[in-house]
Amino acid sequence: MTYAGGIYVQPTNEYINPARPENADQQILYTMYKVSEPRTRPTRVVSSYRELALDLGDQVTLINDQTGMTLGRYQVVGIYDIEAGYSFGDLPDRKIRRSVVT
């Protein structure tokens, strides 16, 4: 599935470890990497209090909710539903820049 219009996020100066998240109760974490940049590991974590209907491999455009600027096209490579207690995909054990769905 792809979101044609994109998902609005609030970029933060925070970093979160998706394998061992702190202060992220009842959230769903999506680890992503930017499609336009050749990378081998995730570069952004998007956290949400609601299900975004994203699956591994889905691509989505992230948009800054304050400026309306496109942050880029990202592909989902890992999902961690903290409340439900399940995770799958690539959830690296290191801190990654976090954005919050608005």
Residue 45 is predicted with a pLDDT of 94
For 73-88, the pLDDT digits (tens) are 999 999 999 888 889 9
**Domain limits, the chain:** 3-101
pTM of the model: 0.89
Burial (Cβ within 10 Å: 0-12, 13-18, ≥19) of residue 13: exposed
Where the chain has pLDDT below 70, the residues are: 1-4
d(CA 29, CA 100): 9
Residue 69 token pair: 């600027």
